[in-house]
Structure 1
Amino acid sequence: MNNSSSGSDGLRSTMYQNLEAYALAYWYMHPYISLIICTFGISTNIVNIAILCQKKMINSINCILTGIAISDILTMLDYVPYAMHFYLLTDLHDTLRRYTYTWSHYLAVHSCLSITTHTISLWLAVLMSAIRYFFIRSRGRWNISVSRTRAAIVAVYVASIIVCIPNYVVTDVLPVYLPTHNATVYRIKNLQIYLKNSTTMNAINVWLFILVGKAMPCVLICVFGCFLLKTLRQSQQLSESLKLTATSRRMRAHKRTTVMLLAIITMFIISELPSAILVLISVFQEGFFMDYYMLFADTLDMLSLTNNAINFIMYCIMSRQFRDCLCENLPLCHATYSQYKSARTSEGNTRAGNTAQICH
């Protein structure tokens, strides 16, 4: 028994040392990767907003995608100075310069803002998947107006801020005296995830963060994602039975949009679900948050930033309407796009004429 116990302890110790080694190695790479992603993500999300707000592009889904893009820009704009100061300009052990009064208060704002923007993006993804599901399920008969969608987006922003108020309240910056340096630094008050002997406000904050900010939206996104997959298969079978009718072509167009939204939903699940699981474990396992969660913190940040920045690539690959509108508004490819469009139109007319002759 003792040999078995000591063997398992040794294995856990080795695994923990490997995790620490990974976290330290990635710490040095993280600022460069994150700054590249943020630079790309901020610029492409600005393009997303410009394209999605074009008059011919405005619909309920694109309004939600615009709301997500705004939230993503806020997340990445805030992350740039964080990565610059706490990773590039100061070392892990450079406590005096890392935790000045100004930078520690910025860190508190960064923590609160990132939680808020992630909550907003997650619930907008829930709203988007729900609207798309009910639209597909009703075969286009049910559709929410743009004005109501915009009101729902504003409601998500406001509700997310209200839900995060307890987090704003418990987040505090405290002076810490360092005898070895004979100086005072300022550190954020540690968030007590493990709830034993926790204050009421801290417990409210933790459960709101876990349930409303993580678990509920992740579960709902998964549920609506599964429903969308099911309705997508049903509509595909119906489309195949309708052959080449106008209804069939409309259904194929709806299918392309739904597949793109499913890809976006999948990215949300990949980027947010691991964090939700680790935070939930931290509530019931004392010391897990500081000992294990923090080792994955940079990796989880990278997953979230990738999700913030990748939508432009998805739109370009999976949405012909987005590509067309993008080319129309880019001076460099406008002429080439016009030639391509006219060639495509004439080719379509030729095919239609051939079809008419065959039918005749």
Structure 2
Amino acid sequence: MEQNITNLTSDTVGICDTSESKTFQFYAWGIVANIISAYGIIGNILSVIVLRHRIMQNSTSYYLISLAIYDTIVLLSMSLFLAIPTIYLAKGDLEDYYYAYMYMHPFCYPVALFAQTGTIYTTMAFTIERYIAVCRPLEAANTCTLSRTKRVICLIFVSSLVYNLPRFLEYETVQYIDSSSNTTLPNIQLTQIGTNEIFRQVYFIYLNLFTMFLLPFTFLAVLNIQLIRAVKVARNARIKMSTSASKEANLTVMLIAVIIVFLVCQLPSIADNILWTIFEKGQLHCSIHYIRFTTMSNLMVVVNSAINFILYCLFGKRFRKVFIKIFCKWKKTEPQFKYIMYDSVVINTGSRRVLNPTKFYDTDSTFV
């Protein structure tokens, strides 16, 4: 999720007429992205509540909880530091927030990229685990354990944070005097490190393209194809499948849907980052076609972070059942009846024998 709001930095101010691009970004980010982000945050919170239920306790659920947390950070960052500032750029509203955002950007922007890195590698982690569980079931018992899953989640967190530490040195907020209003205004610009050609080539071209795109996306594409083949084989042998095997197949289908949507939504950002690295920023900001493309690629990232709850509900049978159990509780009216069980002890009354009337059990029973 690159920072591509036009006219944010001094090297683009005044170069091009960006009124059309600002209007396009206002509707795409300021309206659509904010609505999607609000829904996605609610959906991710609901997903965490459901996935934490005791019925859902397994290694895959831990990965999905971690993914929901990263997605929520991405959505919050998109809304607070990309979508809302666009409202000021296009309409002139929220001026105080916009100036506050200019000072927050150098610190909050790396947090968004940290969350996006965590999202990519968490998706990669549960895909590898699902591949082992489905395609190498004999290794699953020793590999797909809760303790190992927790260690992998911690490793992804630390690695994502360390990898994005240079991002904190990339931008800085400076003040300049606006000649038209004769006032001092804040502005975001690249630091000396951010403009260093060696840094840009090593970090953005070689390291970033390999670490953030080539490696994870190649793994995801190859393993997803293997999972799809395994599901087809399982469906052909559905009659012979046990209940546990059927649940595993259902879980695999749900995760395949998550992976496919992830690949589709994230692929445009690969091209966006390549263009952002190769071409001059002034040249890109003068192209309305690029601005529309990068706006939509960032919007696709938002969609990806917000849509998983829908996928869980559509493809996850157990997820739906637990969700209904938690949030849609109702008291069933069940047929009940009462019966009396007399004790078998009898007493002699001299002329006749009768059941003991003082010993009985009054029981309510319910058929489920």
Mapping for residues 1-360 of structure 1, pairs under 5 Å: 21=20, 24-82=23-81, 85-88=84-87, 90-92=88-90, 94=92, 97=95, 102-139=100-137, 141-143=139-141, 144-190=144-190, 198-207=196-205, 208-237=207-236, 239-240=237-238, 243=239, 245=240, 247-287=241-281, 289-292=284-287, 293-330=290-327, 332-335=328-331
Residues of 2 paired with 1:198 and 1:297: CA distance?
Answer: 24
Residues of 2 paired with 1:100 and 1:302: CA distance?
Answer: 20
Change (3 A) 1:255 1:23: farther
Determine the structure 1 residue equivalent to 2:6: none
SS of 2:185's partner is strand
5+ residue gaps, structure 2? 1-15, 335-366
Aligned residues: 314
Q: Which has the higher contact order (CA 8 A, sep 6+)?
A: 2
SS of 1:181's partner is coil
Residues of 1 paired with 2:94 and 2:32: CA distance?
Answer: 26
Residues of 2 paired with 1:256 and 1:191: CA distance?
Answer: 50
How much does 1:145 deviate?
Answer: 0.7
User: Cα deviation per residue 1:148-191 (whole Å; 9 max; x = unaligned)?
Assistant: 10110111011011111111112222223322222232222249
Residues of 2 paired with 1:146 and 1:278: CA distance?
Answer: 37
Question: Per residue, is there more helix in 1 or in 2?
Answer: 1
SS of 2:90's partner is coil
AA of the residue aligned to 2:295? D
SS of 2:186's partner is strand
Change (3 A) 1:215 1:226: same
Question: Per residue, is there more strand in 1 or in 2?
Answer: 2
Change (3 A) 1:259 1:108: same
Residues of 2 paired with 1:189 and 1:248: CA distance?
Answer: 60
Change (3 A) 1:131 1:176: same
> What percentage of residue pairs aligned between the two structures are identical?
19
SS of 1:230's partner is helix
Change (3 A) 1:20 1:252: farther
Residues of 2 paired with 1:229 and 1:133: CA distance?
Answer: 10
Moved more, 214-223 or 76-85: 76-85
User: Cα deviation per residue 1:295-349 (whole Å; 9 max; x = unaligned)?
Assistant: 333322221111111111111111121111111112x43436x97xxxxxx99xx
User: Cα deviation per residue 1:245-280 (whole Å; 9 max; x = unaligned)?
Assistant: 4x4443332222111111101111111111112222
**Which runs of 4 or more aligned residues in structure 1 lie more than 6 Å from their structure 2 counterparts after TM superposition?**
none
How much does 1:141 deviate?
Answer: 4.7
Mapped contact 1:260–1:319 kept (Cα < 8 A): yes
